[in-house]
Amino acid sequence: MLAQWFESEQGKYVLDWELAQFDNAVDDVFGYHALQIGLPEIDFLRENRIPHKNVISLDQGSAVRARPWELPIATNSVDLVLLPHVLEFSNNAHRILREAERVLMPDGSIVISGFNPLSLWGAKHALGMRGDYPWRGKMIGLLRLRDWLTLLSFEQNGGRFGCYAPPFKSAKWLERWKFMEKAGERWWPIAGGAYVVRAIKRTVGMRLVMPSWRERRTSAKALAPVAQRGNAANRGGIAARTTGPHLER
């Protein structure tokens, strides 16, 4: 499982970086309900101050055990949703993202992490070495993820690449290549092994404009007497002129 891989030296290298990014992404999000989907063993909401936090997944340890693409949550009821490496390890990535959009309130935030296929970590995946985590999943590129978010009316408002060192298993070698972090951010910023993205759900406001039936009826009633009085006066004048000569005769 991915949670077990995060306990390894290689996984801890990625997890430490990702937790720092999640901390920065969620510490200024407020509301009443926050939801983490997947990885119940790791608290990605630790720096968030929303009072009601829950973890939903099919794994043991979750507050609610449910399918991520069939959330037992009311529509437009959650202020913050986290998807830590959920999309790339599921065959229902599109449905999960749509479900997250459904439960989010307008202007609610979503934070997603994933492994970058355009990196040294992704190169191992491209070479077919997919027997173990994290290469067992389907790595989703950031451009592709942005397209998905745009189609669901999300607006990206933050994100970062990290983990530029080669995917060594040993902490010793990862430490030796630590200089790659600063060099990577400067020279090849989109080639980090992992990314964390935050986006906001935007809802286009609509105002239903109804026809002014009452005003129309009022105007019609107001005009009717005037028209009648005018017509009556005209008819009276005509009658007087026609009857005048008749009376004289």
Residue 218: band (very low, low, confident or very high) from pLDDT cuts 50, 70, 90: low
**Using an 8 Å Cβ cutoff, are 220 and 214 in contact?**
no
Give the pLDDT confidence of 106-142 residue by residue, as tens digits.
Answer: 999 999 999 999 998 888 767 766 668 888 888 999 9
Crossing angle for the helix pair 93-103 and 142-151, to the nearest 10 degrees: 50
What was the pLDDT predicted at 200? Answer: 97
What was the pLDDT predicted at 208? Answer: 52
pTM: 0.80
Q: What is the CA radius of gyration of the chain?
A: 33
| pLDDT more than 70, % of the chain | 80
User: Average pLDDT of 98-112?
Assistant: 97
3-state secondary structure 179-191: CHHHHHHHHCCCC
- Given a cut of 70, whether residue 24 has pLDDT beyond it is yes
Q: Is the peptide bond before 40 cis (omega within 30 degrees of 0)?
A: no
User: Average pLDDT of 73-98?
Assistant: 95
- Given a cut of 70, whether residue 249 has pLDDT beyond it is no
Distance of alpha carbon 199 from alpha carbon 20, whole angstroms: 17
Q: Which two tokens stand for residue 193?
A: 């092994």
**Using an 8 Å Cβ cutoff, are 38 and 68 in contact?**
yes
- Given a cut of 60, whether residue 160 has pLDDT beyond it is yes
What was the pLDDT predicted at 121? Answer: 87
Give the pLDDT confidence of 47-84 residue by residue, as tens digits.
Answer: 999 999 999 999 888 889 999 999 999 999 999 999 99
What was the pLDDT predicted at 184? Answer: 84
- Give me the sign of the Cα torsion angle 110, 113, 116, 117: negative
